[in-house]
Amino acid sequence: MPFYRTAIEGLLIYEPKVFGDERGYFFESYNEKVFAEHGITRPFVQDNQAFSSRGVLRGLHYQTGEHAQAKLVRVLQGEVLDVVVDLRPDSKTYGQVYSHILSDENKLQMYIPRGFAHGYVVLSETALFFYKCDNFYAPQAEAGIRPQCPELNIDWGIPLREATIAERDRNFPSFGKHKNPFPTPEKA
């Protein structure tokens, strides 16, 4: 079975079957039929790629409302510590943090359902990070939680004083003061 479940409902790790020989290797990084067999049926509509150096910390990002995104994330080159926070208000694991090392060596991918904040820090000299989204980016729906949030106390694998964090990410609110990813519509 290529997927294994985490302690957080809906958050899955995908471990593709890798075929290797003296020429190199081959694997299917995505197969719609295989993913559908595990409940991932929404089509992916956007691919994103980022290149970063050691210590770059991106996140914790998410989109709200009808613009929320599920993501399938992986590392094409290098190694990152990938981190998610469950922001689904009705979830039994609301506020829980999950992290996993993703690298070009282990070829693992993480499926992150809608309603999670997501971020990662580069542990290798450089990293090429790739992810698919099931919804288009919408700047008006962009939200985040600051990665140095004391309420979450995330172990990023490196001291935060050594991390390169965008000013925008440093200034996101703390957990508990963040925007609900699924706000109820305002009444007129």
Backbone angles phi, psi at 148, to 5 degrees: -95, 25
143: exposed, middle or buried (Cβ count in 10 Å: 0-12, 13-18, 19+): buried
| Residue 25 falls in the annotated catalytic set | no
What residue type is assigned to position 107 of the chain? K
Query: Which residue out of 14, 98, 111, 131 is catalytically annotated?
Result: 131
| Residue 178 falls in the annotated catalytic set | no
The DSSP-derived string for 101-112 is EEETTT--EEEE
Query: Which residue out of 61, 67, 100, 118 is catalytically annotated?
Result: 61
What residue type is assigned to position 141 of the chain? A
Element housing 167 (H / E): helix 167-170
- Positions marked active-site: 61, 131
